[in-house]
Structure 1
Amino acid sequence: MGAPHDPELVGRQDERQVVAELVGRLPGGGGALVVRGEPGLGKSTLLAEAVRLAGDAGARVLRTTGVEAVAPVAFGGLEQLLRPLRDRIGVLAPPERSAVHSALGQTDAPVPELFLVALATLNLVADAAPAVMVVEDAQWLDRESADVLAFLARRVELEPIVLLAAVRDGYPGPLDDVRALELPPLSGADAAALLDARFPALPASARQRVLDESAGNPLALVELPVALTQLPVGPARLTLPPAAAPSPGPTTPAPMAAANWLRLPERLERAFGARTTGLPPATLTLLLLAALNASDSLAEVLAAGGPGHTVDDLVPAVRVGLIEFGDGRLRFRHPLVRSAVVQRATAGQRHEAHAALARVLDGDIERRAWHRGASVVGPDEDVAAELDAAGERARRRGGVETAVQAYERAARLSATASRRADRLLRAADLATELGRREDVARLLGQAGALELSDAQRTLAAWIADADDDGIHDLVANVRRQADFAERVAADGDVDLAMKILYRAAIRCFFTEPGDDVRERLAATAERLSPDPADGRLLAILGHVAPIERGRVIHDNLARAAERAEGDPDAARLVGNAAIALGAFDVGSAMQATAIAGLRAQGRLALLARATSIQAWCALQLMDLGVAITSAQEAVRLSTETAQPAIALLARSRESLIAAMRGDHEACEQIAVEVERRALPAGVRPVLTMVQLARGASALGVGRYSDAFEHLRRVHDPADPAYHHLNRCFSVGDVVEAAVRSGHYDEARALLDDLERVGSRTPSPALHINLRYARALMAAEEEPFLTALRADLARWPFARARLLLAYGEWLRRQRRPAEARAHLRAAREAFDALGALAWGDRARAELRASGETSRGRVARASELLTPQELQIAQMAAEGLTNREIGQKLYLSHRTISTHLHRIYPKLGVTSRGGLFAALHGTVR
């Protein structure tokens, strides 16, 4: 491999090889890597090696650094990273261009969803590629920038982009899921080799002491000798001042001895800090300003230093190896240098430095406010109001975490208890969006210690109960939420009351609170919203009383859908109501409207939910192309947006998809995985879906006894897989399994139960299932004919099953000639729908009737991955690569790569042949 470029890479040959291989993928591909380890283990050195390798490869280098000593500014790290690409922003698509301008503070327009900013960043960097992004101290980046980088890390493998980030051990964050390279301490031999290479003249006693103290830490090996012996260091062989404690005195021990009890990073920090001893006052002033500044701008530091300060004042710090500067930027030699400079300054000096930086940042509202906030100690309403404004600006720019911190800091500086409470509650309310329960509890606790007004107490109660629509809290007391909603409505805030009820309704859907509680919520919602076509009301009723209020939902669905046109939020609610009713054709159309809007807005958390629901609709309508791609996208997005219950639900849809495609092994594999995670949490819809998948798999191959055992659980109120709504859509399956396995009495009981349910609701899906079940239970022909006369144009799978069952009945009645026509139609429908096991059942029946059936040919959906299928579908519709990328939150380069993999799989040479390949068969 050759010798490492930097002597400090001694002992890091394997780690360097990992970095070299990653950079070596350029320009054909890329990847992401997080380098983890304690301070001083060589993270920065490896990143510097990556920069060198990038230069050799002709790749662009983009850099940013997290700064612990200053409060984060929303997208501050991203702004630093993208600074060299600012002149390219104008070529982005308008929505992306606007998103980046807003995020970087170049306009006052509200920032759209963070994921749109992330997509714009991906395309911006991809268009400037090959590129290597280097992130120092990523654990201290603002959350918004870190989230953008995590988004990129999941997508750069097919791009000519490499992302390398250094993260200290013990700091969890958005990059936790990225491939990691853990740096261990150097071996004894490598530590000795590095020390001898840097300090060949070190006396034997000092050499052994450094080896013992450093414990294999490379930075310690090259820095502690300086503090110990004042040896020259580096190519210029500079003589450094002796290390010293912050306040030396006659009883202060030598620095190494005084630091023996400290952790090694603290010893190194002291060693760096000791180098500041004897530096001119002007140099120390500029060093402190640079250490407290979130930017690496040299001009800002000099301006804050005031008249008379020049770059010459920084030269002494360069000579002792603390900093380097050039091209208008100032960088600390190691992150510990920055923290050492801050730690050695007095509180008064830090306050003065923050005030000086605030004075030169008039054009940057957020940073100016943060520095002003750090420059005062006691209450200061002017500064608090400025932090308030900065928090609001951060919130509008998508910087939720920054806004939370701004409001909390403003609360500390508030002049009155009332204003302090307002700001704490505002911070807590926003903190719920981050899913940080401990922060919400802490902020509410601080507010609760104050004397709150009635309005503030109501808001505090709402915040305490808010938790991502309740999906993570499946045992919530929904009765208490109904009480709360009524109290809020009595205070005049009906909108908030309806939000509370909707959250409670979601919880009801995911658990089983009992009929009384669900009726209480339905009645409360009806009192609060007298408009029966209110989409919010219908969504609540659909989740808590889909049978009891089925007629209300049915009669008002069309008006609600008309009102929701063009509004993704309203369309999602109305679509949910339609699905609860069992009007899956309407629900699918409304979810499609919602999905289009949510994609455009970059609201990936809601998009994950909408695509999961769309997958369920598509399964009911047996549109496997949509079901496959929607379920896969739902799994990916719900994982990316930290929604584990939605990820489980979407994954369970994939189990049912596998069953319908005849992939019984995959069906059971997914079912086991999902059940293991959902059962302890009691997530009923997921457990229901698992049994439906297993039942469908068994039905498809004629294992009727197994199918009945799985499906009967969905109808047993004592079973964790029971679900009061979803059981309605499986009555056809369970009755078929029961009849064909000899459980006729159980079949009759189940059918009678669901007939009573059907008398209370006009649910289309339920009544289609009931007609099918009646035909299976009957001894005569008429129920089959009645069921086939129903309008099943949007329900092709249901019609194909009827044809199959009717053909089977005719054959058993010794009417094989009549049976064949129905069995052929069923076979062709199943083949067209991709229901492979069902198609095989139809073929077997045809053979039994005396007709040889032709073999099935593969469909395109069987040859492509779910994501490839989704891309192929969009390309076949005429969308460009960039348009597809915008919809799927991938770069247009990635779309192009996928298409070039898709073409040979489908036997086409360009996108012009995709439509025919997708809508026909592939031989």
Structure 2
Amino acid sequence: MANGPHALVGRAPEQATISGLLDQAVDGGAALVIRGTPGVGKSALLEWAATTAGDKFRVLRAIGSVTEFGLPYAALHQVMRPVLGHRNRLTPKYRLALEVAFGRTSGASPDLYTVAMAVLELLAEVAADRPVLLLADDAQWMDLASQQAMAFLARRVAADRIVLLATHRDTESGLLLDAAIPSVEIAPLDDDAAAALLDGVAGGLDPGVRSQLLDAACGNPLALLELPRAVGAYWGVNGDRLPLTARLESSFLARIGEFDAASATVLEVAALSDADDVAEIVAAAGLLSPRDSVPSLDPAVSAGLIVVDGASVRFRHPLIRSAVLQRLGPDRRRACHAALARVMVDRPERSVWHRAGAALWPDAALAEELERHAEQAIRRGAPANAVPALEQAAQLSVERGDKEARTYRGAALAYTVGQFETGERLRRHHRDLVESQHDGLRHEWLNELADGDRGGEQRIHSLLEFAERATVAGDGTLATDLLRSAALRCWNLSPGRPVGRQVIAAADRLGVADPATRAQLLAYGSPFGSDGTIRALIAGIPASERDATTTYRLAHAAACAGASDVSEGLLTEAADRIRAEGHLHTLGRTLSLLAWSAMRRGSWSHAVVAAEESARLCAETRQPFWEAASLVAHAMVAAFRGDFAHAEELVAGADLLNPRRFATIEAVALLARAAVASGQGRYELAFSCLARLHDPAASAFHPAHALWSLGSMAEAAVACGQVDAARSLIDDLPADVRATTSPTGRMNLAFAAAVLTGDDDAFAAALSADMTMWPYERYRLFLSYGSALRRQRRVRESRDLLRQARDGFDGLGAHPLAERARTELRAAGERSDSPATDVWESLSPQEIQIASMVAQGMTNRDIAKSLFISHRTVGSHLYRMFPKLGIASRSDLQRLAAEHER
């Protein structure tokens, strides 16, 4: 691709893009993934970027390799090794996380995202002295922990002087291929550029050969550089119909075929090595070469196959490595692995993989060592890297029981960390290893992890039976997991069915005593009559005795039971604890639930902040169900505030994330659509949406959400003349739903009765209850009652209610209903002007979140740790916020934030 060491042909647009990123790095960073087919010139662009950056940047590099096995953070360590001497700039927590992750010390297992935050903070500190250019070549082959950390960085470097450029094969999957990370696809060279490149490296070719070479290369720069060497000697242009990649590999193999045995052996060992250490590779090759031969790298360097830089060796292109690996038979491959294992006896973490690669028969000791390696990866905060170690350990196990146990553990872990393809493969293997009843029960749990929403009510009954058997087998943890899964299926299938009570009865029989688990089972299985019991269970556990997991479980139970007054506080507490521990996966779920609880309580700014952060985190941690739920919570608030276009956009995004049509997501999406329709005055559509929640034949049938939206349904029914239909739906509610003890449910029943009857007694009954938990519904009742009184010509009585409704809606930011209240007041003979625009509403959700944290007295570094961004990103947000708000100091921001807490 080059005319000279650094000149590129035909890549002006890509060079301009990269130059722009480098030029902007003085003020802020960027990330770009360069995608393309093998040989198209991705790596050449990175080399050009490094040369262009020159001494103005600190250049850090990592190269992915197909032979990195399961070594935790191998690629990330390549990047960070040159700057680890600066780790004393980090807080003790982040410094320890890096040292444990990189195996420099022992300590408590750090969460992967804590490690990633430590990397971001260290790079940001280093970049303060000189901008950093991070080059990640062949990212698709990096170990999974490194890929996750790199993707984390790529989303967060915008405010720091860090430019991250990664290359990625477009035929491979990988964590950097994410919609949130900018990417560009490199196309083959056009005809003119291809011809210029070929003439630059092989001028004077016969015109016919030149034409056939151009045709065969298809604009691939590597082919244009390599194929001319093979003309005549190795590669026949005429009649050769091999795919381009195979043709290039054949060309490389032909060149290797000219080497003596010792030189070829060096390449074979290098291809299988998981490191680039010249001494290590040459020493291993020496063990395989004849005594009178000295392994040498020189022939491969002269042939342009490898590059040796000091003590490091690398293949000039991954296709060369794959060509070498292709020529290795199984016996030779095992011999090379064995030689590498012998020369790295003092590096057990690496040698174990080569000994596994050399193994011909099952080996109990080696399998045990691989299992220990998996446990070490988990301790270092890289559970994804433990999966291949467990899979290899299972393959090498001698005893069938050990093979089953390791396969089960690997499959369960694979599902947990999002490696679903690996989980499916291991689950299939596990099925063939099942012998005992306990094995079979564990396999059923893998089936549940693989597909926890299919099978209907019969699957719930099966899970209850499995839980009974697990208890008899003495596996209480498995029994509890199966029970909890059965109960959650009840919630997703439709709460309130008799099978839910059967789940609770099974928990009683099996003696489930853990309060958080009991609360969850009650909330999922019998949400309409369990409010008091759930509240008592929660009250029985002091905050000082609740860890993050327990707090989250109790909060989820309260949310599903409609106890938003309890769930909001618990979820806030859980989120704070989970932030401190760095568990982004669970934090995304927690914030999603918090968004819904805060929205129902009228804390809309908090709801939007939680929903926006949750959606980002759930997208990052690949949890589409929870991401969709967060988008809809955000859509609800947007609809209440009158931003209908944004609300519809958010709901459409949630639909795309719900291809399996989860009933819960279908139901809440209808709530948001109804809120939009009602806000726009399309009451018939709003009523239709909400009525579908009551229809057992509809995919969105969900009695809990139907109960919690009765007030909205009644309002829409009155407005579009469907009062009788609404009354019929309420009359048809199951007895246990109408008899609910849930305050949210009772409020909605009273609200609907007042609106549908329209008489004073019904409104008085609804308003006599304590409505402070539901300010939005309270002001809607004021508006409905006031409007009804005005229509009855009881104008003086109506005005006070309408004023309270208007002021309440203004306080919430419910603009459509505030304007409706003003219209009613004007009709009642009272002038009511619109309020001035609040500049606070110009802030983004994350800016509001940062302002709130500033109001709490948190420093930029404290805020950065909580939000998983660099402290310089926090400073950048504050820099933009001050002019927006017309303020000049942090104390001004604290005052404004305190005024807008609602």
Letter in 1 for 2:43: S
- 8 A contact 1:471–1:506 mirrored in 2: no
Corresponding residue number in structure 1 for 2:162: 161
Mapped to 1, the partners of 2:475 and 2:159 lie a distance apart of: 50
Corresponding residue number in structure 2 for 1:478: 460
Q: Residue by residue, what CA displacement relative to the aligned partner does 1:42-79 show, whole Å, maximum 9, x if unpaired?
A: 111111111112216x1111111111245241211111
Mapped to 1, the partners of 2:303 and 2:770 lie a distance apart of: 85
TM-score of the aligned structures, taking structure 2 as reference length: 0.92
- Give the superposition deviation at 1:134: 1.2
Corresponding residue number in structure 2 for 1:170: 171
Corresponding residue number in structure 2 for 1:910: 889
Q: CA 1:779 to 1:288, structure 2 compared with 1: closer, same or farther past 3 Å?
A: closer
Q: What secondary structure, in the 3-state scheme, does the structure 2 residue paired with 1:175 have?
A: coil
- Give the superposition deviation at 1:611: 1.0
Corresponding residue number in structure 1 for 2:323: 340
Q: What secondary structure, in the 3-state scheme, does the structure 1 residue paired with 2:231 have?
A: helix
- Give the superposition deviation at 1:333: 1.9
Q: CA 1:22 to 1:494, structure 2 compared with 1: closer, same or farther past 3 Å?
A: same
Aligned: 1:644 with 2:617: no
Mapped to 2, the partners of 1:820 and 1:616 lie a distance apart of: 32
Q: Residue by residue, what CA displacement relative to the aligned partner does 1:577-607 show, whole Å, maximum 9, x if unpaired?
A: 2122222111001111211122222222222
Mapped to 2, the partners of 1:706 and 1:744 lie a distance apart of: 14
Q: What secondary structure, in the 3-state scheme, does the structure 2 residue paired with 1:127 have?
A: helix
Corresponding residue number in structure 2 for 1:732: 711
Q: CA 1:458 to 1:193, structure 2 compared with 1: closer, same or farther past 3 Å?
A: same
Q: Residue by residue, what CA displacement relative to the aligned partner does 1:94-124 show, whole Å, maximum 9, x if unpaired?
A: 3322322222122233533322222222222
Aligned: 1:53 with 2:36: no
Letter in 2 for 1:897: S
Corresponding residue number in structure 2 for 1:534: 515
- Give the superposition deviation at 1:448: 3.4
Superposition map of 1:174-253 within 5 A: 174-177=175-178, 178-204=181-207, 206-228=209-231
Q: What secondary structure, in the 3-state scheme, does the structure 2 residue paired with 1:330 have?
A: strand
Mapped to 1, the partners of 2:239 and 2:395 lie a distance apart of: 35
Q: CA 1:913 to 1:754, structure 2 compared with 1: closer, same or farther past 3 Å?
A: farther
Q: CA 1:192 to 1:113, structure 2 compared with 1: closer, same or farther past 3 Å?
A: same
Q: Gapped runs of 5+ residues in structure 1?
A: 230-242, 244-253
- Give the superposition deviation at 1:7: 6.9
Q: Residue by residue, what CA displacement relative to the aligned partner does 1:301-352 show, whole Å, maximum 9, x if unpaired?
A: 3554569999994344333323233353322222223333444455444434
- 8 A contact 1:473–1:507 mirrored in 2: no
Corresponding residue number in structure 2 for 1:516: 498
Aligned: 1:448 with 2:431: yes
Superposition map of 1:17-166 within 5 A: 17-55=16-54, 58-129=56-127, 130-166=131-167
Aligned: 1:497 with 2:496: no
- 8 A contact 2:68–2:74 mirrored in 1: no
Q: Residue by residue, what CA displacement relative to the aligned partner does 1:508-557 show, whole Å, maximum 9, x if unpaired?
A: 322338823323223222323454x7111211221121014344324433
Mapped to 2, the partners of 1:716 and 1:814 lie a distance apart of: 38
- 8 A contact 1:421–1:452 mirrored in 2: no
- Give the superposition deviation at 1:33: 2.1
- 8 A contact 1:554–1:581 mirrored in 2: no
Mapped to 1, the partners of 2:564 and 2:729 lie a distance apart of: 23
Mapped to 1, the partners of 2:69 and 2:239 lie a distance apart of: 29
Q: What secondary structure, in the 3-state scheme, does the structure 2 residue paired with 1:51 have?
A: helix
Identity score, percent = 39
Q: Residue by residue, what CA displacement relative to the aligned partner does 1:813-846 show, whole Å, maximum 9, x if unpaired?
A: 5443443333323222221111112222222222
Q: CA 1:661 to 1:311, structure 2 compared with 1: closer, same or farther past 3 Å?
A: farther
- Give the superposition deviation at 1:84: 0.9
Mapped to 2, the partners of 1:530 and 1:444 lie a distance apart of: 28
- 8 A contact 1:126–1:891 mirrored in 2: yes
Q: Gapped runs of 5+ residues in structure 2?
A: none
Letter in 2 for 1:853: S
Mapped to 2, the partners of 1:608 and 1:476 lie a distance apart of: 31
Superposition map of 1:861-880 within 5 A: 861-880=840-859
Q: CA 1:757 to 1:696, structure 2 compared with 1: closer, same or farther past 3 Å?
A: farther
Q: 1:833 aligns with which of 789, 802, 812?
A: 812
Q: CA 1:758 to 1:266, structure 2 compared with 1: closer, same or farther past 3 Å?
A: closer
Q: CA 1:155 to 1:392, structure 2 compared with 1: closer, same or farther past 3 Å?
A: same
Greater mean deviation of Cα atoms: 171-180 or 696-705? 696-705
Q: 1:847 aligns with which of 826, 849, 868?
A: 826
Superposition map of 1:570-585 within 5 A: 570-585=550-565
Instruction: Note the aligned Cα RMSD (angstroms).
Output: 3.1
Corresponding residue number in structure 1 for 2:314: 331
- Give the superposition deviation at 1:279: 4.5
- Give the superposition deviation at 1:80: 1.0
Q: CA 1:564 to 1:755, structure 2 compared with 1: closer, same or farther past 3 Å?
A: farther
Q: What secondary structure, in the 3-state scheme, does the structure 2 residue paired with 1:174 have?
A: coil
Corresponding residue number in structure 2 for 1:655: 635
Mapped to 2, the partners of 1:522 and 1:636 lie a distance apart of: 35
Corresponding residue number in structure 2 for 1:237: none
- Give the superposition deviation at 1:769: 2.4
Corresponding residue number in structure 1 for 2:582: 602
- Give the superposition deviation at 1:636: 1.4
TM-score of the aligned structures, taking structure 1 as reference length: 0.90
- Give the superposition deviation at 1:645: 1.7
Greater mean deviation of Cα atoms: 375-384 or 472-481? 472-481
Corresponding residue number in structure 2 for 1:899: 878
Letter in 2 for 1:94: P
Greater mean deviation of Cα atoms: 580-589 or 26-35? 26-35
Aligned: 1:797 with 2:776: yes
Q: What secondary structure, in the 3-state scheme, does the structure 2 residue paired with 1:9 have?
A: coil
- Give the superposition deviation at 1:198: 1.5
Corresponding residue number in structure 1 for 2:489: 507
Letter in 2 for 1:163: L
Report how many aligned residue pairs link the two structures: 892
Corresponding residue number in structure 2 for 1:461: 444
Q: CA 1:430 to 1:61, structure 2 compared with 1: closer, same or farther past 3 Å?
A: same
Greater mean deviation of Cα atoms: 611-620 or 784-793? 784-793
Q: CA 1:676 to 1:636, structure 2 compared with 1: closer, same or farther past 3 Å?
A: closer
Aligned: 1:622 with 2:602: yes
- 8 A contact 2:667–2:701 mirrored in 1: yes
- 8 A contact 2:624–2:657 mirrored in 1: no
- 8 A contact 1:70–1:292 mirrored in 2: no
- Give the superposition deviation at 1:161: 1.8
Q: Residue by residue, what CA displacement relative to the aligned partner does 1:880-916 show, whole Å, maximum 9, x if unpaired?
A: 2222222222122222222222222222223322233
Greater mean deviation of Cα atoms: 721-730 or 736-745? 736-745
Q: CA 1:755 to 1:858, structure 2 compared with 1: closer, same or farther past 3 Å?
A: farther
Corresponding residue number in structure 2 for 1:233: none
Superposition map of 1:661-680 within 5 A: 661-675=641-655, 678=658
Aligned: 1:429 with 2:398: no
- 8 A contact 1:494–1:528 mirrored in 2: no
Corresponding residue number in structure 2 for 1:885: 864
Greater mean deviation of Cα atoms: 740-749 or 491-500? 740-749
Aligned: 1:397 with 2:380: yes
- Give the superposition deviation at 1:854: 3.2
Q: What secondary structure, in the 3-state scheme, does the structure 2 residue paired with 1:128 have?
A: helix
Q: CA 1:522 to 1:51, structure 2 compared with 1: closer, same or farther past 3 Å?
A: same
Q: What secondary structure, in the 3-state scheme, does the structure 2 residue paired with 1:653 have?
A: helix
Corresponding residue number in structure 2 for 1:419: 402
Letter in 1 for 2:518: L
Q: Residue by residue, what CA displacement relative to the aligned partner does 1:167-220 show, whole Å, maximum 9, x if unpaired?
A: 223111212224333233323332222122112244445434433433322212
Corresponding residue number in structure 1 for 2:524: 543
- Give the superposition deviation at 1:628: 0.6
Q: CA 1:4 to 1:845, structure 2 compared with 1: closer, same or farther past 3 Å?
A: farther
